[in-house]
Amino acid sequence: MGKKKSVPEIVPSASELDAAGNKYPVINEQDLTDERREYFFSLPSFMEKPLFNLLEDKRDIVLVRLMANITLTAMPAVVFLFYLREFHPLIGFLYCCATYGFYLQRFMLTLHFSSHRRLFPKGNILNGFAQYFLSPFFGLPSGSYYFHHVIMHHIENNVFPYDVSSTMHYQRDNVFHFLQYWARYLFAIWLQLPYYLFLRARYSLVVSCIASQAVYFTSIYFLWTRVSAQATWWTLVFPYFVSSFMLMFGNFCQHLFVNPKNHTDSYNLTYNLINTDMNKVTYNDGYHIIHHLHSTLHWSELPNSFNRNIDKLAARGALTFQGVDYSYVGFMAMTGQLEKLATHYVNIGSKETHRTPEQVVATLKEWVKPIPY
């Protein structure tokens, strides 16, 4: 067996960044130097090398490995459940715990970044593998994530009413407002998403969206009535409830703090998370301001872009926290512990832009309030 081709260097080292002329010391060194942990195992060289050679950006072998991990472990379990047809509910529950425990967060961010930037040359069928084949097993109708996230959320930028996943008109430190937000997605997204596409005159996408939903529901009906209701519940239906909650909680937390005086500005409608273990399993998803500013920027370049633009981020009042993930931020806000969250706040840029601890707390309290539309 030939020698396995290693993953190319993903980001420059902190010392290289300093040598390139950064004005301020690198403050996100953990994100620059820690090893990637999005996948669990590599493929044998004879399987991985052809995929590696096909990639438009070789750094994306990390995403391919994660999709291969799911295909080789979770998908055989799905086939096995349908083969059994009838089984003890505990078996289905254990399947869900294992699949979502190991893969849900990793897959959603794999889907996320492969939706923004295709992995393989245009027209290659492998570009749709996560979007159309794997997605339903994680509670998403084929193709729906692209319509919802890339077409709607990033274009409308969390601004209501066109972005139907907007958080701005909710009291964002109130758990009951989050539950309303989740329920709206859970029961209404099937109508709201195609309606949004229609309002924006994206007629071909309206047809694609409705068709994908029709195939999704038809497939579930067929599998439920003709093959196995039990297997369909655990592999396709139950995942929708789990994933919808996790996706909406994630988006709610990412857009928890919105400046009421400048709510359309990408610098002021989300925040960055640095030096957190979360970034190592989510392709640097903590750099959410940077991602909203440049949605097609390669995931490996997000920490470096943060460093290059740190003056601009500071001047525009952007929020940065370190050592925490989005769920921690949301939990602290919804349990009234903003003072504790403020201890993770990072002052960036020149001293003139720094906030005192008291100013941080005051800003956070102001930025969770509902914004009229």
DSSP secondary structure letters along 253-303: HHTS---TTSTT-GGGSSEEEES-THHHHTTSTTBHHHHHH-TTS-GGGHH
- 207: which 2 tokens? 């047809």
Is residue 345 helix, strand or coil? Answer: strand
Mean pLDDT value across residues 62-67: 98
Cα 283 from Cα 344, distance rounded (Å):
21
Cα 285 from Cα 13, distance rounded (Å):
19
Give the up-direction half-sphere exposure of residue 320: CA atoms within 13 A in the CB hemisphere.
Answer: 26
CA 261 to chain centre: 26
| The one-letter amino acid at 238 | F
Q: Give the residue from 157, 176, 159 showing the smallest Cα distance to 168.
A: 159
Q: Give the residue from 6, 35, 16 showing the smallest Cα distance to 304.
A: 16
| The one-letter amino acid at 124 | N
pLDDT at 11: 43
Tell whether the model's pLDDT for residue 126 goes beyond 80: yes
pLDDT at 275: 97
Mean pLDDT value across residues 260-265: 95
Percentage of residues of the chain with pLDDT beyond 70: 93
Which H helix or E strand runs over 322? strand 319-322
Which H helix or E strand runs over 247? helix 238-254
pLDDT at 349: 87
Tell whether the model's pLDDT for residue 7 goes beyond 50: no
Cα 213 from Cα 190, distance rounded (Å):
8
pLDDT at 24: 57
Q: Give the residue from 221, 219, 42, 57 showing the smallest Cα distance to 135.
A: 219
Whether the CA torsion 199, 200, 204, 207 is positive or negative: it is: negative
pLDDT at 373: 76
Mean pLDDT value across residues 126-147: 95
pLDDT at 121: 97
What burial letters (b/e) apply to 167-201, b meaning 16+ CB within 10 Å?
bbebebbeeebbeebbeebeeebbebbbebbeeee
Strand partners, 272: 287, 320
